[in-house]
Structure 1
Amino acid sequence: MNVTPLHLGSLHPIEQALTLALAFGPFVVLGIVVLVRRRQDLAEEHEQVEGQRER
């Protein structure tokens, strides 16, 4: 008995979009979160430096 998987044909365009979103979406979200947190950290650091200069 041959156990090769049956090919179901090409994916529908919506299925292709969902596959790409599931494959790369988490990495895109992670990149956005990292960028936002870096900006927040740099802003906090800048405020601390400015606060020390005023003293």
Structure 2
Amino acid sequence: MPTTCCDQEKIIFKLQLSLYINYGRILMINQQDISGTIGFFFTRNIIPHLLV
């Protein structure tokens, strides 16, 4: 079955989501500073709301 436009958008969104989460974790591990805190806050608080 060919993937529809909608399916492709969902796949791309999931890839971007995993990148954001991994990037946030890297920030938290590598540098305990403002950008790391923002990355952690973004992955923990904002992204879950997008998934609802």
Q: Which residue in 2 is equivalent to 1:28? A: 7
Q: Distance in 2 between matches of 1:41 and 1:47?
A: 10
Question: TM-score, structure 1 length as denominator?
Answer: 0.50
Instruction: List runs of 5+ in structure 2 lacking aligned partners.
Output: 33-52
RMSD (Å), alpha carbons:
1.8
Match of residue 50, structure 1, among 14, 24, 29 = 29
- Of the two structures, which has the highest relative contact order with CA contacts closer than 8 Å and spacing of 6 or more? 2
Question: TM-score, structure 2 length as denominator?
Answer: 0.53
Greater fraction of residues in helix: 2
How many residue pairs were aligned? 32
The runs of at least 4 aligned residues of structure 1 exceeding 6 Å deviation read none
Deviations 1:17-42, CA, capped at 9 Å, x for gaps: 7xxx5xx7000000000000000111
Instruction: List runs of 5+ in structure 1 lacking aligned partners.
Output: 1-16
The amino acid of 2:29's aligned partner reads E
